[in-house]
Chains A and B, each alone.
Chain A
Amino acid sequence: MRKASPGRKAAVLAALPLMIVAACGGSDDGGGGGGSEGGDQSDAGPYRLGLVHSSEGPFATNSDTMRAGARYAVELINADGGVNGRDVELVEVDARNDPQTLVTAIPELVSEEEVFAIVAPVDSAGCEIACAIAADLQVPIVSAGAGRPGVLEPSRPWSFTMTAPDAANSIPVLEAVMEQEGAQTAAIIVDEANATTKAQGDLYAEVFDGSGVEVVSTTTYTSGDPSFTSQVTSMAAENPDVIALAAGPADAARIAVEVRTQGLESLLIGTGSLQAGGTDYINGAGEAAEGTITAAQFNPDNPDDPAATLLAQAEEDNGLDVVALNFSYAFDIVNMIAEYLTETEATASPETIEEDRQGLLDYLEGVDPYEGMSGDVRFAEDGTGDRPELYAVVENGQFVISEVGS
Protein backbone atom coordinates (compact mmCIF):
# COMPACT_ATOMS: atom_id res chain seq x y z
CA MET A 1 0.00 0.00 0.00
CA ARG A 2 2.80 2.37 0.76
CA LYS A 3 4.11 1.67 -2.69
CA ALA A 4 0.77 2.41 -4.27
CA SER A 5 0.45 5.85 -2.76
CA PRO A 6 2.46 8.01 -5.19
CA GLY A 7 0.87 6.20 -8.12
CA ARG A 8 -2.53 6.82 -6.68
CA LYS A 9 -1.94 10.52 -6.35
CA ALA A 10 -0.65 10.67 -9.88
CA ALA A 11 -3.68 8.87 -11.20
CA VAL A 12 -6.04 11.13 -9.33
CA LEU A 13 -4.22 14.22 -10.57
CA ALA A 14 -4.45 12.92 -14.10
CA ALA A 15 -8.14 12.30 -13.74
CA LEU A 16 -8.98 15.67 -12.20
CA PRO A 17 -8.74 17.81 -15.36
CA LEU A 18 -11.18 15.48 -17.06
CA MET A 19 -13.56 15.92 -14.19
CA ILE A 20 -13.28 19.68 -14.34
CA VAL A 21 -13.93 19.72 -18.06
CA ALA A 22 -16.96 17.54 -17.55
CA ALA A 23 -18.22 19.75 -14.77
CA CYS A 24 -17.78 23.03 -16.67
CA GLY A 25 -19.39 21.59 -19.74
CA GLY A 26 -22.46 20.87 -17.67
CA SER A 27 -22.89 24.20 -15.95
CA ASP A 28 -24.09 26.30 -18.88
CA ASP A 29 -26.88 23.93 -19.84
CA GLY A 30 -28.82 23.65 -16.63
CA GLY A 31 -32.24 22.90 -18.12
CA GLY A 32 -31.82 19.27 -19.03
CA GLY A 33 -34.60 17.62 -21.04
CA GLY A 34 -34.59 14.49 -18.91
CA GLY A 35 -37.36 15.35 -16.54
CA SER A 36 -39.82 16.62 -19.08
CA GLU A 37 -41.13 13.24 -20.11
CA GLY A 38 -42.19 12.28 -16.61
CA GLY A 39 -39.68 9.61 -15.74
CA ASP A 40 -39.11 8.24 -19.22
CA GLN A 41 -35.54 8.92 -20.20
CA SER A 42 -35.28 5.91 -22.51
CA ASP A 43 -33.26 7.90 -25.08
CA ALA A 44 -30.49 8.61 -22.63
CA GLY A 45 -28.84 5.21 -22.65
CA PRO A 46 -28.30 3.07 -19.57
CA TYR A 47 -27.38 4.19 -16.08
CA ARG A 48 -23.86 2.98 -15.51
CA LEU A 49 -22.68 1.68 -12.15
CA GLY A 50 -19.10 0.65 -11.45
CA LEU A 51 -18.38 -2.58 -9.57
CA VAL A 52 -14.95 -3.57 -8.31
CA HIS A 53 -14.46 -7.25 -7.55
CA SER A 54 -11.38 -9.38 -7.06
CA SER A 55 -10.84 -12.82 -8.54
CA GLU A 56 -7.77 -13.40 -6.39
CA GLY A 57 -6.74 -13.08 -2.79
CA PRO A 58 -8.19 -14.25 0.49
CA PHE A 59 -11.60 -12.72 -0.16
CA ALA A 60 -12.09 -13.96 -3.73
CA THR A 61 -15.07 -16.09 -2.70
CA ASN A 62 -16.77 -13.22 -0.90
CA SER A 63 -16.09 -11.07 -3.92
CA ASP A 64 -17.74 -13.54 -6.29
CA THR A 65 -20.77 -13.70 -4.02
CA MET A 66 -20.97 -9.93 -3.89
CA ARG A 67 -20.80 -9.64 -7.67
CA ALA A 68 -23.51 -12.25 -8.08
CA GLY A 69 -25.80 -10.24 -5.78
CA ALA A 70 -25.21 -7.02 -7.73
CA ARG A 71 -25.73 -8.74 -11.07
CA TYR A 72 -28.92 -10.32 -9.81
CA ALA A 73 -30.23 -6.93 -8.69
CA VAL A 74 -29.49 -5.42 -12.11
CA GLU A 75 -31.13 -8.37 -13.84
CA LEU A 76 -34.36 -7.91 -11.84
CA ILE A 77 -34.41 -4.15 -12.35
CA ASN A 78 -33.91 -4.38 -16.10
CA ALA A 79 -36.44 -7.19 -16.45
CA ASP A 80 -38.89 -4.89 -14.74
CA GLY A 81 -38.35 -2.09 -17.28
CA GLY A 82 -35.28 -0.50 -15.80
CA VAL A 83 -35.09 2.83 -13.98
CA ASN A 84 -36.92 5.76 -15.51
CA GLY A 85 -37.21 3.69 -18.64
CA ARG A 86 -33.45 3.22 -18.81
CA ASP A 87 -31.50 0.03 -18.24
CA VAL A 88 -28.96 -0.22 -15.49
CA GLU A 89 -25.53 -1.40 -16.61
CA LEU A 90 -22.76 -2.75 -14.36
CA VAL A 91 -19.23 -1.87 -15.44
CA GLU A 92 -17.11 -4.50 -13.72
CA VAL A 93 -13.41 -4.30 -12.92
CA ASP A 94 -11.32 -7.17 -11.60
CA ALA A 95 -8.77 -5.75 -9.16
CA ARG A 96 -7.14 -9.15 -8.64
CA ASN A 97 -6.37 -8.18 -5.06
CA ASP A 98 -3.78 -5.72 -6.37
CA PRO A 99 -3.79 -2.17 -4.97
CA GLN A 100 -2.02 -0.90 -8.07
CA THR A 101 -4.91 -2.06 -10.23
CA LEU A 102 -7.36 -0.13 -8.06
CA VAL A 103 -5.30 3.01 -8.40
CA THR A 104 -5.73 3.02 -12.16
CA ALA A 105 -9.12 1.31 -12.40
CA ILE A 106 -11.20 3.68 -10.26
CA PRO A 107 -10.27 6.89 -12.17
CA GLU A 108 -10.85 4.98 -15.39
CA LEU A 109 -14.31 3.92 -14.26
CA VAL A 110 -15.13 7.52 -13.49
CA SER A 111 -13.59 9.37 -16.41
CA GLU A 112 -13.86 6.87 -19.26
CA GLU A 113 -16.80 4.70 -18.29
CA GLU A 114 -18.60 7.65 -16.71
CA VAL A 115 -20.17 5.55 -13.99
CA PHE A 116 -22.59 7.27 -11.66
CA ALA A 117 -21.59 5.45 -8.48
CA ILE A 118 -19.43 2.51 -7.53
CA VAL A 119 -19.93 -0.75 -5.66
CA ALA A 120 -16.67 -1.01 -3.69
CA PRO A 121 -14.48 -4.08 -3.07
CA VAL A 122 -15.86 -6.35 -0.33
CA ASP A 123 -12.56 -6.64 1.50
CA SER A 124 -11.49 -3.88 3.85
CA ALA A 125 -8.02 -3.44 2.39
CA GLY A 126 -9.32 -3.02 -1.16
CA CYS A 127 -12.24 -0.91 -0.02
CA GLU A 128 -10.02 1.52 1.83
CA ILE A 129 -7.98 2.30 -1.29
CA ALA A 130 -10.88 2.29 -3.73
CA CYS A 131 -13.00 4.53 -1.49
CA ALA A 132 -10.20 7.04 -1.01
CA ILE A 133 -9.75 7.42 -4.75
CA ALA A 134 -13.49 7.61 -5.39
CA ALA A 135 -13.81 10.25 -2.68
CA ASP A 136 -11.09 12.34 -4.32
CA LEU A 137 -13.13 12.17 -7.50
CA GLN A 138 -16.35 12.89 -5.54
CA VAL A 139 -18.11 9.72 -6.57
CA PRO A 140 -20.34 7.84 -4.09
CA ILE A 141 -18.99 4.38 -3.31
CA VAL A 142 -20.60 1.66 -1.20
CA SER A 143 -19.05 -1.59 0.00
CA ALA A 144 -20.98 -4.79 0.59
CA GLY A 145 -18.54 -6.18 3.08
CA ALA A 146 -15.77 -3.98 4.42
CA GLY A 147 -15.96 -4.00 8.21
CA ARG A 148 -12.55 -3.15 9.58
CA PRO A 149 -12.75 -0.23 12.01
CA GLY A 150 -11.78 3.05 10.40
CA VAL A 151 -11.83 1.70 6.88
CA LEU A 152 -13.97 4.61 5.64
CA GLU A 153 -12.14 7.35 7.51
CA PRO A 154 -10.03 8.60 4.59
CA SER A 155 -12.99 8.72 2.23
CA ARG A 156 -15.91 10.15 4.14
CA PRO A 157 -18.48 11.47 3.32
CA TRP A 158 -18.40 9.78 -0.10
CA SER A 159 -18.08 6.23 1.14
CA PHE A 160 -20.43 3.83 2.87
CA THR A 161 -20.37 0.23 3.91
CA MET A 162 -23.37 -1.97 4.51
CA THR A 163 -21.48 -3.85 7.18
CA ALA A 164 -21.49 -2.89 10.83
CA PRO A 165 -17.90 -2.87 12.09
CA ASP A 166 -17.04 -6.05 13.96
CA ALA A 167 -16.63 -4.27 17.26
CA ALA A 168 -19.89 -2.33 17.21
CA ASN A 169 -21.84 -5.45 16.40
CA SER A 170 -19.92 -8.30 17.98
CA ILE A 171 -19.04 -6.94 21.42
CA PRO A 172 -22.56 -6.58 22.78
CA VAL A 173 -23.66 -9.81 21.11
CA LEU A 174 -20.79 -11.91 22.41
CA GLU A 175 -21.06 -10.45 25.91
CA ALA A 176 -24.67 -11.58 25.96
CA VAL A 177 -23.65 -15.01 24.67
CA MET A 178 -21.02 -15.36 27.43
CA GLU A 179 -23.67 -14.60 29.99
CA GLN A 180 -26.11 -17.00 28.41
CA GLU A 181 -23.54 -19.83 28.33
CA GLY A 182 -22.22 -19.17 31.82
CA ALA A 183 -18.60 -19.19 30.65
CA GLN A 184 -15.83 -18.79 33.26
CA THR A 185 -12.55 -19.20 31.37
CA ALA A 186 -11.52 -18.49 27.80
CA ALA A 187 -8.61 -18.92 25.40
CA ILE A 188 -7.93 -16.61 22.46
CA ILE A 189 -6.04 -17.59 19.30
CA VAL A 190 -4.98 -14.72 17.05
CA ASP A 191 -3.65 -14.48 13.52
CA GLU A 192 -0.87 -11.98 14.07
CA ALA A 193 -0.17 -11.34 10.43
CA ASN A 194 -3.44 -9.63 9.69
CA ALA A 195 -4.79 -6.30 10.92
CA THR A 196 -8.42 -7.46 10.86
CA THR A 197 -7.81 -10.53 12.98
CA LYS A 198 -5.54 -8.67 15.38
CA ALA A 199 -8.41 -6.25 15.91
CA GLN A 200 -10.63 -9.28 16.55
CA GLY A 201 -8.21 -10.38 19.26
CA ASP A 202 -8.59 -7.03 21.03
CA LEU A 203 -12.34 -7.28 20.58
CA TYR A 204 -12.44 -10.63 22.39
CA ALA A 205 -10.32 -9.24 25.21
CA GLU A 206 -12.90 -6.52 25.62
CA VAL A 207 -15.77 -8.99 25.52
CA PHE A 208 -14.22 -11.23 28.18
CA ASP A 209 -13.30 -8.23 30.30
CA GLY A 210 -16.83 -6.92 30.07
CA SER A 211 -18.46 -10.24 30.92
CA GLY A 212 -16.09 -11.28 33.72
CA VAL A 213 -14.60 -14.23 31.86
CA GLU A 214 -10.97 -15.02 32.71
CA VAL A 215 -8.61 -15.29 29.75
CA VAL A 216 -6.40 -18.27 30.60
CA SER A 217 -4.45 -18.60 27.37
CA THR A 218 -3.58 -16.39 24.41
CA THR A 219 -1.80 -18.01 21.49
CA THR A 220 -0.77 -16.67 18.11
CA TYR A 221 -0.15 -17.87 14.61
CA THR A 222 0.48 -16.22 11.27
CA SER A 223 -2.00 -16.74 8.45
CA GLY A 224 -1.24 -19.64 6.19
CA ASP A 225 0.65 -21.31 9.05
CA PRO A 226 0.96 -24.99 8.53
CA SER A 227 0.04 -26.49 11.87
CA PHE A 228 -2.07 -25.52 14.84
CA THR A 229 -1.10 -28.53 16.92
CA SER A 230 1.25 -26.55 19.10
CA GLN A 231 -1.22 -23.72 19.79
CA VAL A 232 -4.08 -26.05 20.57
CA THR A 233 -1.85 -28.11 22.88
CA SER A 234 -1.07 -24.92 24.80
CA MET A 235 -4.78 -24.10 25.04
CA ALA A 236 -5.71 -27.63 26.01
CA ALA A 237 -3.43 -27.42 29.01
CA GLU A 238 -5.77 -24.77 30.45
CA ASN A 239 -8.98 -26.52 29.39
CA PRO A 240 -10.94 -23.29 28.78
CA ASP A 241 -14.74 -23.09 28.59
CA VAL A 242 -14.52 -20.94 25.49
CA ILE A 243 -12.05 -20.69 22.61
CA ALA A 244 -12.26 -17.42 20.70
CA LEU A 245 -11.17 -17.53 17.07
CA ALA A 246 -9.50 -14.35 15.85
CA ALA A 247 -8.87 -15.94 12.48
CA GLY A 248 -9.93 -15.92 8.85
CA PRO A 249 -12.62 -18.50 8.10
CA ALA A 250 -10.31 -21.08 6.49
CA ASP A 251 -7.78 -20.92 9.32
CA ALA A 252 -10.58 -20.92 11.88
CA ALA A 253 -11.83 -24.14 10.31
CA ARG A 254 -8.47 -25.83 10.73
CA ILE A 255 -8.21 -24.64 14.30
CA ALA A 256 -11.68 -26.06 15.00
CA VAL A 257 -10.69 -29.45 13.59
CA GLU A 258 -7.48 -29.48 15.63
CA VAL A 259 -9.41 -28.52 18.78
CA ARG A 260 -11.84 -31.40 18.35
CA THR A 261 -9.07 -33.81 17.27
CA GLN A 262 -7.25 -33.13 20.50
CA GLY A 263 -10.46 -33.90 22.35
CA LEU A 264 -11.27 -30.44 23.68
CA GLU A 265 -14.92 -29.69 24.19
CA SER A 266 -14.67 -25.94 24.62
CA LEU A 267 -17.27 -23.69 23.00
CA LEU A 268 -15.87 -22.10 19.84
CA ILE A 269 -16.85 -18.51 19.22
CA GLY A 270 -16.26 -16.08 16.38
CA THR A 271 -17.08 -12.53 15.45
CA GLY A 272 -19.54 -11.52 12.80
CA SER A 273 -16.89 -11.82 10.10
CA LEU A 274 -16.60 -15.55 10.75
CA GLN A 275 -20.30 -15.87 10.02
CA ALA A 276 -19.88 -13.70 6.92
CA GLY A 277 -17.27 -16.15 5.60
CA GLY A 278 -19.43 -18.95 6.89
CA THR A 279 -19.27 -21.43 4.01
CA ASP A 280 -15.46 -21.53 4.10
CA TYR A 281 -15.59 -22.17 7.82
CA ILE A 282 -18.24 -24.86 7.70
CA ASN A 283 -16.86 -26.61 4.62
CA GLY A 284 -13.37 -26.53 6.08
CA ALA A 285 -14.26 -27.73 9.55
CA GLY A 286 -17.12 -30.13 8.82
CA GLU A 287 -18.30 -31.84 12.00
CA ALA A 288 -15.89 -29.82 14.10
CA ALA A 289 -17.80 -26.61 13.32
CA GLU A 290 -20.98 -27.87 15.01
CA GLY A 291 -22.01 -25.75 17.96
CA THR A 292 -19.79 -22.81 17.06
CA ILE A 293 -21.38 -19.49 18.04
CA THR A 294 -20.67 -16.26 16.21
CA ALA A 295 -22.00 -12.76 16.36
CA ALA A 296 -24.10 -11.98 13.31
CA GLN A 297 -25.59 -9.01 11.57
CA PHE A 298 -27.44 -10.66 8.73
CA ASN A 299 -30.24 -13.17 8.89
CA PRO A 300 -30.69 -15.26 5.73
CA ASP A 301 -33.90 -16.65 7.27
CA ASN A 302 -35.33 -13.24 8.13
CA PRO A 303 -39.08 -13.89 8.57
CA ASP A 304 -40.14 -10.26 8.02
CA ASP A 305 -41.15 -8.91 4.64
CA PRO A 306 -39.96 -7.63 2.27
CA ALA A 307 -36.68 -9.42 3.20
CA ALA A 308 -38.40 -12.81 3.46
CA THR A 309 -39.89 -12.59 -0.05
CA LEU A 310 -36.71 -11.23 -1.60
CA LEU A 311 -34.57 -13.93 0.04
CA ALA A 312 -36.89 -16.72 -1.06
CA GLN A 313 -36.96 -15.40 -4.61
CA ALA A 314 -33.18 -15.00 -4.70
CA GLU A 315 -32.71 -18.54 -3.49
CA GLU A 316 -35.03 -19.84 -6.17
CA ASP A 317 -33.71 -17.72 -9.04
CA ASN A 318 -30.06 -18.42 -8.29
CA GLY A 319 -30.31 -21.99 -7.05
CA LEU A 320 -28.87 -21.06 -3.65
CA ASP A 321 -29.33 -23.06 -0.46
CA VAL A 322 -28.86 -19.95 1.54
CA VAL A 323 -28.32 -16.34 0.56
CA ALA A 324 -24.94 -15.06 1.71
CA LEU A 325 -24.41 -11.75 3.47
CA ASN A 326 -22.33 -10.22 0.67
CA PHE A 327 -24.93 -11.24 -1.90
CA SER A 328 -27.80 -9.52 -0.13
CA TYR A 329 -25.72 -6.45 0.75
CA ALA A 330 -24.70 -5.96 -2.88
CA PHE A 331 -28.27 -6.55 -4.00
CA ASP A 332 -29.48 -3.84 -1.64
CA ILE A 333 -26.79 -1.37 -2.70
CA VAL A 334 -27.85 -1.55 -6.34
CA ASN A 335 -31.51 -1.29 -5.41
CA MET A 336 -30.97 1.71 -3.14
CA ILE A 337 -29.19 3.54 -5.93
CA ALA A 338 -32.01 2.58 -8.29
CA GLU A 339 -34.58 3.80 -5.78
CA TYR A 340 -32.83 7.14 -5.47
CA LEU A 341 -32.70 7.53 -9.26
CA THR A 342 -36.37 6.64 -9.57
CA GLU A 343 -37.51 8.92 -6.78
CA THR A 344 -35.55 11.96 -7.95
CA GLU A 345 -35.70 11.13 -11.65
CA ALA A 346 -32.05 12.10 -11.72
CA THR A 347 -30.58 11.81 -15.21
CA ALA A 348 -26.93 11.34 -14.20
CA SER A 349 -26.10 13.00 -17.51
CA PRO A 350 -22.74 14.76 -17.83
CA GLU A 351 -24.50 18.05 -17.09
CA THR A 352 -26.06 16.97 -13.81
CA ILE A 353 -23.94 14.08 -12.69
CA GLU A 354 -22.17 16.10 -9.99
CA GLU A 355 -25.43 17.23 -8.47
CA ASP A 356 -26.94 13.78 -8.80
CA ARG A 357 -24.00 12.17 -7.05
CA GLN A 358 -24.35 14.67 -4.21
CA GLY A 359 -28.02 13.79 -4.16
CA LEU A 360 -27.27 10.09 -3.81
CA LEU A 361 -24.99 10.91 -0.91
CA ASP A 362 -27.76 12.78 0.87
CA TYR A 363 -30.20 10.02 0.10
CA LEU A 364 -27.94 7.30 1.53
CA GLU A 365 -27.27 9.32 4.65
CA GLY A 366 -31.00 9.75 5.11
CA VAL A 367 -32.36 6.24 4.58
CA ASP A 368 -34.34 5.33 7.67
CA PRO A 369 -34.62 2.55 6.98
CA TYR A 370 -34.39 1.17 3.47
CA GLU A 371 -36.19 -2.16 3.62
CA GLY A 372 -34.23 -4.62 1.52
CA MET A 373 -33.11 -8.21 1.25
CA SER A 374 -30.81 -7.75 4.24
CA GLY A 375 -33.59 -6.35 6.39
CA ASP A 376 -33.60 -2.75 7.60
CA VAL A 377 -30.70 -0.82 6.13
CA ARG A 378 -29.43 2.32 7.88
CA PHE A 379 -26.08 3.98 8.00
CA ALA A 380 -24.43 5.38 11.11
CA GLU A 381 -22.82 8.80 11.01
CA ASP A 382 -19.47 7.33 10.04
CA GLY A 383 -21.02 5.65 6.98
CA THR A 384 -20.97 2.14 8.39
CA GLY A 385 -24.02 -0.07 8.44
CA ASP A 386 -26.29 0.02 11.46
CA ARG A 387 -27.15 -3.64 11.76
CA PRO A 388 -29.26 -5.71 14.13
CA GLU A 389 -27.53 -7.56 16.99
CA LEU A 390 -27.86 -11.22 16.14
CA TYR A 391 -25.93 -14.36 16.86
CA ALA A 392 -25.55 -17.56 14.91
CA VAL A 393 -25.09 -21.16 15.98
CA VAL A 394 -23.78 -23.82 13.61
CA GLU A 395 -26.32 -26.61 13.49
CA ASN A 396 -26.20 -29.44 10.97
CA GLY A 397 -23.71 -27.60 8.81
CA GLN A 398 -25.64 -24.31 8.73
CA PHE A 399 -25.64 -21.07 10.63
CA VAL A 400 -28.93 -20.70 12.46
CA ILE A 401 -29.62 -17.09 13.40
CA SER A 402 -31.20 -15.99 16.68
CA GLU A 403 -31.78 -12.60 18.16
CA VAL A 404 -29.87 -11.81 21.35
CA GLY A 405 -32.06 -12.30 24.38
CA SER A 406 -34.60 -14.50 22.63
Chain B
Amino acid sequence: MPALEVSDLRAGYGRITGIDGINLTVAQGELVALLGANGAGKSTFLRAVSGMIRPWSGQVLLNGKDVTDRRSDQLVRAGMAHVPEGRRILPSLTVEENLRLGAFARRRSGDPDADLDGVLTRFGALRERSNQKAGTLSGGEQQMLAIGRALMARPKILLLDEPSLGLSPLLVGEVFALIRDLASEGLTILLVEQNVKQGLGCADRGYLLSTGSVVMTGSAQELLADPAVIDSYLGGRSPEA
Protein backbone atom coordinates (compact mmCIF):
# COMPACT_ATOMS: atom_id res chain seq x y z
CA MET B 1 0.00 0.00 0.00
CA PRO B 2 1.49 3.36 -1.04
CA ALA B 3 2.09 6.00 1.64
CA LEU B 4 0.33 8.59 -0.49
CA GLU B 5 -1.90 8.01 -3.48
CA VAL B 6 -3.42 11.02 -5.19
CA SER B 7 -5.82 10.62 -8.09
CA ASP B 8 -7.17 13.25 -10.44
CA LEU B 9 -6.72 16.11 -7.99
CA ARG B 10 -7.98 19.54 -9.07
CA ALA B 11 -7.63 22.70 -7.01
CA GLY B 12 -7.10 26.44 -7.33
CA TYR B 13 -7.91 29.89 -6.03
CA GLY B 14 -11.27 31.39 -6.79
CA ARG B 15 -11.53 31.04 -10.57
CA ILE B 16 -7.79 30.47 -11.05
CA THR B 17 -6.93 26.85 -11.68
CA GLY B 18 -3.74 25.81 -9.87
CA ILE B 19 -3.61 22.09 -10.63
CA ASP B 20 -5.78 20.35 -13.15
CA GLY B 21 -6.11 16.61 -12.53
CA ILE B 22 -2.93 15.30 -10.99
CA ASN B 23 -2.19 11.62 -10.31
CA LEU B 24 0.74 10.91 -8.04
CA THR B 25 1.91 8.05 -5.84
CA VAL B 26 4.57 7.88 -3.16
CA ALA B 27 5.46 4.42 -1.92
CA GLN B 28 6.40 3.72 1.71
CA GLY B 29 9.94 4.93 2.41
CA GLU B 30 10.29 6.49 -1.03
CA LEU B 31 11.69 9.96 -1.77
CA VAL B 32 9.76 11.47 -4.65
CA ALA B 33 10.64 14.79 -6.25
CA LEU B 34 7.95 17.05 -7.71
CA LEU B 35 9.54 19.35 -10.25
CA GLY B 36 8.42 22.20 -12.42
CA ALA B 37 8.91 25.84 -13.32
CA ASN B 38 7.53 28.88 -11.55
CA GLY B 39 3.76 28.74 -11.33
CA ALA B 40 3.55 25.11 -12.45
CA GLY B 41 1.29 24.27 -9.52
CA LYS B 42 3.69 22.42 -7.23
CA SER B 43 2.81 24.41 -4.09
CA THR B 44 -0.87 24.28 -4.96
CA PHE B 45 -0.64 20.50 -5.13
CA LEU B 46 0.97 20.28 -1.67
CA ARG B 47 -1.58 22.72 -0.25
CA ALA B 48 -4.47 20.69 -1.62
CA VAL B 49 -2.99 17.46 -0.28
CA SER B 50 -2.30 18.84 3.21
CA GLY B 51 -5.65 20.53 3.68
CA MET B 52 -4.48 24.15 3.42
CA ILE B 53 -6.87 24.64 0.53
CA ARG B 54 -9.91 22.58 -0.32
CA PRO B 55 -9.51 20.38 -3.42
CA TRP B 56 -12.17 20.93 -6.10
CA SER B 57 -12.26 17.26 -6.99
CA GLY B 58 -10.19 14.10 -6.89
CA GLN B 59 -9.05 11.88 -4.09
CA VAL B 60 -6.19 11.73 -1.59
CA LEU B 61 -5.39 8.40 0.10
CA LEU B 62 -2.99 8.42 3.05
CA ASN B 63 -1.82 4.90 3.84
CA GLY B 64 -4.87 3.63 1.97
CA LYS B 65 -7.31 5.81 3.90
CA ASP B 66 -9.36 8.48 2.15
CA VAL B 67 -8.34 11.82 3.67
CA THR B 68 -9.65 14.16 0.96
CA ASP B 69 -11.18 17.30 2.53
CA ARG B 70 -9.65 16.70 5.94
CA ARG B 71 -8.39 19.76 7.83
CA SER B 72 -4.63 20.23 8.16
CA ASP B 73 -4.57 19.50 11.87
CA GLN B 74 -6.42 16.23 11.30
CA LEU B 75 -3.90 15.24 8.64
CA VAL B 76 -1.06 15.94 11.06
CA ARG B 77 -2.68 13.47 13.42
CA ALA B 78 -2.91 11.00 10.55
CA GLY B 79 0.86 11.24 10.04
CA MET B 80 1.41 13.94 7.41
CA ALA B 81 3.65 16.96 7.92
CA HIS B 82 3.95 19.82 5.46
CA VAL B 83 6.80 22.33 5.52
CA PRO B 84 5.37 25.02 3.30
CA GLU B 85 7.02 27.39 0.92
CA GLY B 86 8.79 30.25 2.69
CA ARG B 87 9.21 28.22 5.91
CA ARG B 88 6.50 30.18 7.76
CA ILE B 89 8.10 30.03 11.17
CA LEU B 90 6.02 31.74 13.88
CA PRO B 91 8.15 34.85 14.40
CA SER B 92 6.87 36.08 17.77
CA LEU B 93 7.31 32.67 19.40
CA THR B 94 10.64 31.39 20.64
CA VAL B 95 12.49 28.63 18.84
CA GLU B 96 11.52 26.15 21.52
CA GLU B 97 7.86 27.22 21.39
CA ASN B 98 7.86 26.75 17.62
CA LEU B 99 9.23 23.26 18.07
CA ARG B 100 6.82 22.36 20.85
CA LEU B 101 3.87 23.51 18.79
CA GLY B 102 5.03 20.99 16.19
CA ALA B 103 4.16 18.32 18.75
CA PHE B 104 0.86 19.96 19.74
CA ALA B 105 -1.32 17.14 18.45
CA ARG B 106 0.58 14.47 20.34
CA ARG B 107 1.62 16.47 23.43
CA ARG B 108 -0.02 13.88 25.70
CA SER B 109 1.11 10.74 23.91
CA GLY B 110 4.75 9.87 23.35
CA ASP B 111 7.54 11.94 24.81
CA PRO B 112 7.72 15.42 23.31
CA ASP B 113 10.59 16.37 25.62
CA ALA B 114 12.75 13.59 24.23
CA ASP B 115 11.78 14.50 20.68
CA LEU B 116 12.67 18.12 21.40
CA ASP B 117 16.05 17.00 22.60
CA GLY B 118 16.45 14.84 19.51
CA VAL B 119 15.67 17.71 17.16
CA LEU B 120 17.95 20.10 19.03
CA THR B 121 20.74 17.54 18.80
CA ARG B 122 20.20 17.12 15.09
CA PHE B 123 20.17 20.92 14.62
CA GLY B 124 22.85 22.09 17.03
CA ALA B 125 22.52 25.74 15.98
CA LEU B 126 18.95 25.78 17.23
CA ARG B 127 19.84 24.60 20.72
CA GLU B 128 21.84 27.76 21.40
CA ARG B 129 18.98 29.88 20.25
CA SER B 130 16.12 27.93 21.77
CA ASN B 131 14.91 30.86 23.90
CA GLN B 132 15.32 33.40 21.15
CA LYS B 133 12.36 34.71 19.14
CA ALA B 134 12.19 32.68 15.94
CA GLY B 135 11.88 35.87 13.89
CA THR B 136 15.47 36.73 14.73
CA LEU B 137 16.93 33.57 13.12
CA SER B 138 18.87 33.60 9.84
CA GLY B 139 17.34 32.06 6.73
CA GLY B 140 19.24 28.81 7.09
CA GLU B 141 18.33 28.50 10.75
CA GLN B 142 14.71 29.21 9.94
CA GLN B 143 14.70 26.38 7.40
CA MET B 144 16.21 24.05 9.99
CA LEU B 145 13.57 25.17 12.46
CA ALA B 146 10.79 24.61 9.93
CA ILE B 147 11.93 21.08 9.20
CA GLY B 148 12.71 20.33 12.83
CA ARG B 149 9.29 21.56 13.82
CA ALA B 150 7.68 19.24 11.28
CA LEU B 151 9.68 16.33 12.65
CA MET B 152 8.30 17.06 16.14
CA ALA B 153 4.98 15.65 14.91
CA ARG B 154 6.69 12.33 14.14
CA PRO B 155 5.25 12.24 10.63
CA LYS B 156 5.11 9.16 8.43
CA ILE B 157 5.25 11.31 5.35
CA LEU B 158 6.94 14.70 5.01
CA LEU B 159 5.99 17.23 2.32
CA LEU B 160 8.79 19.73 1.71
CA ASP B 161 8.17 22.81 -0.44
CA GLU B 162 11.40 24.21 -1.91
CA PRO B 163 13.52 23.88 1.22
CA SER B 164 16.62 25.19 -0.58
CA LEU B 165 15.02 28.41 -1.80
CA GLY B 166 16.97 31.54 -0.92
CA LEU B 167 19.84 29.72 0.81
CA SER B 168 23.56 30.05 0.11
CA PRO B 169 25.07 27.19 -1.94
CA LEU B 170 26.75 25.86 1.19
CA LEU B 171 23.47 25.71 3.06
CA VAL B 172 21.69 24.20 0.06
CA GLY B 173 24.17 21.33 0.26
CA GLU B 174 23.43 20.93 3.94
CA VAL B 175 19.69 20.87 3.37
CA PHE B 176 19.96 18.17 0.71
CA ALA B 177 22.26 16.16 2.94
CA LEU B 178 19.65 16.40 5.67
CA ILE B 179 16.92 15.24 3.28
CA ARG B 180 19.02 12.23 2.27
CA ASP B 181 19.59 11.41 5.95
CA LEU B 182 15.90 11.58 6.71
CA ALA B 183 15.11 9.38 3.72
CA SER B 184 17.72 6.87 4.74
CA GLU B 185 16.15 6.76 8.20
CA GLY B 186 13.02 5.47 6.47
CA LEU B 187 10.92 8.62 6.32
CA THR B 188 8.69 8.93 3.26
CA ILE B 189 9.30 12.27 1.57
CA LEU B 190 7.62 14.26 -1.19
CA LEU B 191 10.06 17.00 -2.18
CA VAL B 192 9.05 20.01 -4.29
CA GLU B 193 11.92 21.65 -6.12
CA GLN B 194 12.61 24.07 -8.91
CA ASN B 195 16.20 22.95 -8.79
CA VAL B 196 15.72 19.84 -10.96
CA LYS B 197 19.28 18.61 -10.79
CA GLN B 198 19.59 18.71 -7.00
CA GLY B 199 16.05 17.48 -6.54
CA LEU B 200 16.41 14.46 -8.76
CA GLY B 201 19.92 13.92 -7.41
CA CYS B 202 18.60 12.58 -4.15
CA ALA B 203 15.18 11.30 -5.24
CA ASP B 204 14.07 7.78 -6.17
CA ARG B 205 11.47 8.98 -8.64
CA GLY B 206 10.29 12.26 -10.04
CA TYR B 207 7.20 13.96 -11.48
CA LEU B 208 7.47 16.87 -13.85
CA LEU B 209 4.69 19.44 -13.62
CA SER B 210 3.74 22.07 -16.15
CA THR B 211 0.74 24.43 -15.93
CA GLY B 212 -1.06 22.27 -13.46
CA SER B 213 -0.59 18.88 -15.07
CA VAL B 214 1.96 16.07 -14.89
CA VAL B 215 3.89 16.08 -18.15
CA MET B 216 6.43 13.40 -17.37
CA THR B 217 7.18 10.83 -14.71
CA GLY B 218 9.82 8.16 -14.15
CA SER B 219 12.77 7.15 -12.05
CA ALA B 220 15.29 9.82 -11.17
CA GLN B 221 17.86 8.36 -13.58
CA GLU B 222 15.37 8.19 -16.46
CA LEU B 223 14.34 11.79 -15.96
CA LEU B 224 17.91 13.05 -15.60
CA ALA B 225 18.71 11.35 -18.89
CA ASP B 226 15.65 12.51 -20.76
CA PRO B 227 16.53 14.94 -23.56
CA ALA B 228 13.38 16.99 -23.00
CA VAL B 229 14.22 17.42 -19.34
CA ILE B 230 17.78 18.32 -20.18
CA ASP B 231 16.61 20.84 -22.75
CA SER B 232 14.17 22.62 -20.51
CA TYR B 233 15.63 22.25 -17.04
CA LEU B 234 19.27 21.26 -17.13
CA GLY B 235 20.68 24.00 -19.31
CA GLY B 236 20.10 22.11 -22.61
CA ARG B 237 23.20 19.92 -22.54
CA SER B 238 22.62 16.18 -22.24
CA PRO B 239 25.26 14.43 -20.04
CA GLU B 240 25.85 11.80 -22.73
CA ALA B 241 26.22 14.34 -25.49
Direct chain A–B contact by Cβ atoms under 8 Å: no
